[in-house]
Amino acid sequence: MSSKLFAIVAGAGTGTGRAVALRFAKAYPVVLMARRTESYHDTVSEITQAGGRAVGVSADVTDSKSLVSAFDAIKKELPDFKLAAAVYNVSSGYTIKPFLELRPEDLNDSLAGSARGLFNFAQNTIPLLLDAVPESEHSPTLLVTGATASVRGSAKFGTLAAGMFARRALAQSLAREFHPQGVHVAHSIIDGIIDVPRAQAYAANGGVEDGKLKPEAIAESYWHLHTQPRSAFTQELDLRPFVEKF
Amino acid sequence: MSSKLFAIVAGAGTGTGRAVALRFAKAYPVVLMARRTESYHDTVSEITQAGGRAVGVSADVTDSKSLVSAFDAIKKELPDFKLAAAVYNVSSGYTIKPFLELRPEDLNDSLAGSARGLFNFAQNTIPLLLDAVPESEHSPTLLVTGATASVRGSAKFGTLAAGMFARRALAQSLAREFHPQGVHVAHSIIDGIIDVPRAQAYAANGGVEDGKLKPEAIAESYWHLHTQPRSAFTQELDLRPFVEKF
Amino acid sequence: MSSKLFAIVAGAGTGTGRAVALRFAKAYPVVLMARRTESYHDTVSEITQAGGRAVGVSADVTDSKSLVSAFDAIKKELPDFKLAAAVYNVSSGYTIKPFLELRPEDLNDSLAGSARGLFNFAQNTIPLLLDAVPESEHSPTLLVTGATASVRGSAKFGTLAAGMFARRALAQSLAREFHPQGVHVAHSIIDGIIDVPRAQAYAANGGVEDGKLKPEAIAESYWHLHTQPRSAFTQELDLRPFVEKF
Amino acid sequence: MSSKLFAIVAGAGTGTGRAVALRFAKAYPVVLMARRTESYHDTVSEITQAGGRAVGVSADVTDSKSLVSAFDAIKKELPDFKLAAAVYNVSSGYTIKPFLELRPEDLNDSLAGSARGLFNFAQNTIPLLLDAVPESEHSPTLLVTGATASVRGSAKFGTLAAGMFARRALAQSLAREFHPQGVHVAHSIIDGIIDVPRAQAYAANGGVEDGKLKPEAIAESYWHLHTQPRSAFTQELDLRPFVEKF
C-alpha cells in the first residue's frame, strides 16, 4: 500500500463502483461516495474487514455545494493524503420512452447525473490530482464510466444519450487540458449489461455464461488505466461481453 | 410557394438563422423565433418587402412554457398551416476558459441552449411535422445546427462541447425514432467561422477569401436536406471552408 | 449547359452510376466509364436521345495503364474541355464468407476495386480538376461512393470493409490535400440497398415503398455536393432510406 | 510460465515488437517473426539468456505461401503447444508525398503490409487460437497494432491511411466474427512517435521526457488486453504520450 495516497469512487453502489473500490483498496485507502449510506455501507465494511481502509461519504454530486462539503469532510478524515485516483461512476436517472411522452425533467435528470455531476466532481478532484503529480507512483487519474449511449443516440434513448454524450465531451476536454500537466483522464465505454444483483432477472445475450460484464473485470481494466505511465495514456477504450453484438 | 405549409427557424439572428429564413421564405411563409425582437426584426422586413411572408415570434426556447405560448401564438397567426420544416439554430451561451476557472452556471448555460432548447423545440415541432407528412411535398424536416464542438471536446471548450455533444445525441435519437414515421431529422456540423458581421474582425484562415462559411451557402445545404426524398435521407453532414484545417 | 466543361463517371452501370450520369448530363457532356461496353451503352443512348452529349469509354480502373489510355482517348474526344466533376462509383468485387473460407484473392479483389481503382482514377482526374479551378462555375469536384462497410467492419464482411475503409481513407486524405487548392472531394456513405433491377428480388426493409435508395435521389445529392461553393464544402454525408435501421 | 501455450509476434523489430515479445516471454515461449533474421536475432538471445524460450522465424507475411511454411516450421519447433496470443505488429512500407507524386507501387506496399499481411497472419493464427480456447487461462488473443493513420486520412498520408484503415476494418470484422467463439481481437491506435533507437534524432513534442511512447508501456497494455476475461473484452483503445496533441 502506497502511503499518503488515496482513491475516491463516486457512484459506489453494488456494481462497478463496489468492484472498483475493492480493487483500488488493495493499493490505497478508498473513499466511497454515494447519495445514500446504504449504497456504500457494506462495501466499506468489506474493505475494512479485509484489512484495508475505507471511508464512506454521503453526497449529491449534482449539487456543487454538497460536494464541496463532502471534500471538506474527506480532507479532515484523510489529512496529508494526496489523491491518486478519482473514479466517476455515477448513474444518471433516465427514462426510456417515446420522445413525445418525455417531460423536461427527464432530460434534466440525465444531464444532472451525467454531466453536471462529473463537472462538479472534476472541479473538486482535479486540483487534488494535480497536487499529487510529483509524488504519485502512477500518474494521478480521473476515470469516467461511459456506456453504449455515450456514442450512440438510439431511438427512445435520447435523454440518456444526451447526458452520456455530454459526459464523454467533458472527459475528452479534460484529457486534452490536463494530460500535459500529468493528470490522466480516461473514459470507458461499457457496452453491455453489467452483472449486478438487480440485473439478475435480465438474461442478457440469451443467458449465456459471461454474457454480462463482470464488475471485477471492469475494475481490473480501470486499475490498468491507472497504472499506465504517462508515455502511453489511453484516453478511451470499450468493454463488452464476448457475445455482445456491436 | 406551397400553400398551407410553413417553416420555422429558431435562433433567427444575423448569420445562419437569417440566411436559412430567407432561403426557406422562397417556398414557405417563415416564422422567425428569437429571444429578442431585434434579432429577427430586420429579416422579417426583408422577407416581407421581397414579397414573402414572415412572422416574428419572441420566445426563450430553454423555457418550455415560453415555447408552448409561442406555438399557441403561431397557431393563431397561421391557422390551417402545416409545418414543413423546423430549424434549430440556437447558439448556446458558452465560456472558453481553463476548466478550473469555470462556474457551474457556465455548464448550465451551455446545456440549456444546446440540449434543453432543442428538446423543447422538438417536443413542440415534431407533432406538427408528423401531422404534415401526408401533405408536404418534401418530407417534413427538423434541421439541427451543430459545430466542431459537436464531435470534439477540445481543451477549454468542455462546457461548449458538453452541450453540443448532447444536442447531437438528441438529433441522432430523434432521427432513429421519427425517420420511419416520415419526419427527416438532420444534423449539420458547421466546422469553421461563419461570415457574419460580428466575426468581421476575426481573420479566419489568414483572411483568405471564402475562408469563413457564407451563411447563404449553409442555407442552400439546409434546403437540399429538406428536399431529400425519404428513400435517401442524410442524417449528418459536415460543412467547412475549403481552407479549413480538419 | 456550361460550355467547355465535362463530367466523368467511373462505374457507370445500371444504378447510381447511370443516375449520376443522367443528372450531370443536364449540365455537362458526360463520359461514362466502365469495364464493359454493355454497362454504359444504353445510358449513353439515353443521354444522346434526350439532347445531351455522352461518351462511353471502356477501361479497367484497377489497371493504371488502361486508365492512362482511356484518358488519352477522352482528351481526343473532348479537346479543350475541362473537367468539372469526376465521380468514382466503381463497385469492388467482394465475397461475404466466414473469414477462414476466404482466399487471398478475395481481399485483393476488394482492395483493387475499392482503393487501387480510386487511386488511379484520382491520379488521372485531379490534375484535370485543378486545371479547371479558374473556369468552372462550381468548384471542380471528385465524388466518391462509399457504403455501410466504409465505416463498419461487420462479421464476414472483412474484405469488403478493408477495401471500403481504404477508399474512405484516400478520399479523406485527398480532401485535406486538395480542398485548399479549390478541388472539392466528398465521400458519401450509402447505407442501404439501392433500388436497381438486380436488387428487385430483395425486399429490403420488409418491402416497404422507398425502403431502398432511389438512384435518382443519390444523384441529386451528388449534384448538390458539386454545386457547394468553396466557403462551405461537405466532406462526408450519409444517405439511407427512412426506414433503414442504423 | 503456462505450459503448452505459446505466443507469436509478427513484426518483431526493435520497438513495440521487441518489447511485446519480452513481456509475453515472461509467461509463454515466444515465436518472433520478421522478414530478416537481424530483426529478431538479438531479442531471441535476450529472452533465452533471461531464462525464457524464444524461437526466431523468418517469413514474409505479405506472401501467403511463405507464411504457411513458417507455420509448418513453428509446428515442428513447438509440437503440442497451443497458441495463446498472436500479435500483428508489422509496419507497412509507406511514402509520405504529395498525392500526384505517388506511384501505384506506393499504395500496393502499404496495402500489402497493412492489410494483406494481417489477412494472411489471421488466416494462419485464428485456427490455432480457436483450438486453444478450451485450455488457455486467458482468452486466446489476436492483437493488432494501429496508428493515428488508422482513423485519420491526413494530407499526403493517403497511402499509409488506406492501408491502416483497411487493417482496422479487418480487425473489427474479425472481432465481430470470433469474439463469440472465445477468441479476443483487439486493435490499438498508437498515436505518437515510439521511442525507438531510429527515432532518437526526432524530438517529438519538443523533446520533453516521455514525449514519445515507450515500447514497454505499449507492451504492458497489450498484456492487459490479453488477460481480459471474456466478460469484458476491449476491442479498441488508443495510446499516446501525455503531451501529444489530439
Q: Note the pLDDT tens digit of each residue in C168-204.
A: 999 999 999 999 999 999 999 999 999 998 888 887 7
Q: Which helix (H) or strand (E) holds B106?
A: helix B104-111
* Pick among C111, C118, C183 to test the D interface (most D CBs inside 10 A): C111
Give all strands (DSSP E) within A161-213, no chain letters: 184-190
Q: Would you say residue B246 lies in a domain?
A: no
C-alpha cell at C144: 466518391
Nearest-Cα residue of chain B relative to residue C214: B231
Q: Does B158 touch chain A (CB under 8 A)?
A: yes
Q: Distance (Å, rounded) from C-alpha A86 to C-alpha A138?
A: 13
B177 at A interface, C-beta within 8 A: yes
Phi, psi of A50 (to 5 degrees): -85, 5
Q: What is the pLDDT of residue D199?
A: 81
Chain-chain contact of B107 with A115 (C-beta, under 8 angstroms): yes
Q: What is the ipTM of this complex?
A: 0.96
Q: Where are the alpha helices (DSSP H) in C78-157?
A: 104-111, 117-132
Query: Which residues of D are less than 8 Å from C126 in CB distance?
Result: 99-100
CA distance A116 to A163: 9
Q: What averages of pLDDT result for each successive group of 10 residues across chain A (246 residues)?
A: 82 93 98 96 97 97 96 97 98 89 96 97 98 95 98 97 98 98 98 89 85 97 98 98 97
C-alpha cell, D115: 492489410
Phi first, then psi, for residue A105 (nearest 5°) are -65, -30
* Rounded-to-10 torsion of CA B21, B23, B24, B25: 80
Is A246 part of any domain? Answer: no
Neighbours of chain C (3+ CB pairs under 8 A): B, D
Instruction: Confirm whether C137 is domain-assigned.
Output: yes
Q: Which of B33-47, C167-181, D8-22, D195-209 has the lowest average pLDDT?
A: D195-209
Nearest by CB to residue C169, choosing from D127, D165, D175, is D165
Q: Name residues 105-144 of chain B within 8 A of A (Cβ).
A: 107-108, 111, 115-116, 119-120, 122-123, 126-127
According to the model, what pLDDT value does residue A206 have? Answer: 83
**The total number of structural domains that make up chain C:** 1
| CB spacing of C242 vs B176 below 8 angstroms | no
Grid coordinates of B203: 481573420
Contact list, A243 vs chain D (CB under 8 Å): 179-180
The grid cell for D172 is: 473489427
d(CA C146, CA D63): 29
Contacts of B240 in chain C (CB under 8 A): 232-233, 235
Cα distances from D222 to residues A218, A220, B66, C55, D24, in angstroms, run 16, 14, 55, 55, 9
Is the distance from CB of C129 to CB of C83 less than 8 angstroms?
yes
Q: Pairing relation of β-strands D82-88 and D5-10? A: parallel
Kindly state whether residue D246 falls inside one of the protein's structural domains.
no
Angle between helices C64-77 and C117-132 (to 10 degrees): 30
CB B175 within 8 A of CB B230: no
Residue D109: domain span: 5-239
The D residues from 192 to 221 touching A (CB cutoff 8 Å) are 195, 210-214, 217-218, 220-221
Q: What is the mean pLDDT of residues C71-98?
A: 94
Burial bucket for residue D104 (CB in 10 Å: 0-12, 13-18, 19+): middle
Phi, psi of C71 (to 5 degrees): -70, -30
Decide if pLDDT at D2 tops 60: no
How many CB atoms are located within 10 Å of the residue A65 CB? 11
User: Is B44 domain-assigned?
Assistant: yes
CATH of the domain at C178: 3.40.50.720
The total number of residues written for chain A in this structure: 246
Residue B198, number of CB atoms within 10 A of its CB = 10
Strand B54-58 relative to strand B30-34, pairing: parallel
Instruction: Check residue A2 and give its pLDDT.
Output: 44
Give yes or no for C179 touching B (CB within 8 A).
yes
Q: Say whether B240 and C232 touch across the interface (CB within 8 A).
A: yes
How many H-runs (helices) and E-runs (strands) does chain A carry? 7, 7
Answer whether B92 touches A (CB < 8 Å): no
Subunit contact C156:D177, Cβ cutoff 8 A: yes
Give all strands (DSSP E) within B27-112, no chain letters. 30-34, 54-58, 82-88
User: Closest Cα of chain B to C8: distance in Å?
Assistant: 22
Q: Per the structure block, which three cell numbers stand in for C223? A: 449534384
C92: confidence class by pLDDT, cuts 50, 70, 90: confident
Cβ-Cβ contacts under 8 Å between A and D: the total is 106
Residue of A nearest to B107 (CA): A116
- D244 found inside a domain: no
Domain-located, residue B225: yes
d(CA D56, CA D45): 10
Give the span between the Cα atoms of A134 and C41, in whole angstroms. Answer: 73
Q: Which of B92, B86, B178 is nearest to B124 (CA)?
A: B86
Contact check, Cβ <8 Å, C184/B242: yes
Q: How far is C122 from chain D (nearest CA, A)?
A: 9
Determine the Cα–Cα distance for residues A49 and A69; give it in Å rounded to an integer: 28
Label each residue of C31-71 as H, E or C. Answer: EEEECCHHHHHHHHHHHHHCCCCEEEEECCCCCHHHHHHHH
- What would the pLDDT profile of B148-201 be if each residue is shown by its tens digit? 999 999 999 999 999 999 999 999 999 999 999 999 999 999 999 999 988 888
The rounded distance, in Å, linking the Cα atoms of D132 and D83 is 6
- Which residue in C218, C221, C230 is closest to B242 by CB distance? C230
- Cβ within 8 Å, pair D170-C164: no
Q: Compute the mean pLDDT over every residue in chain D, rounded to the nearest whole number.
A: 95
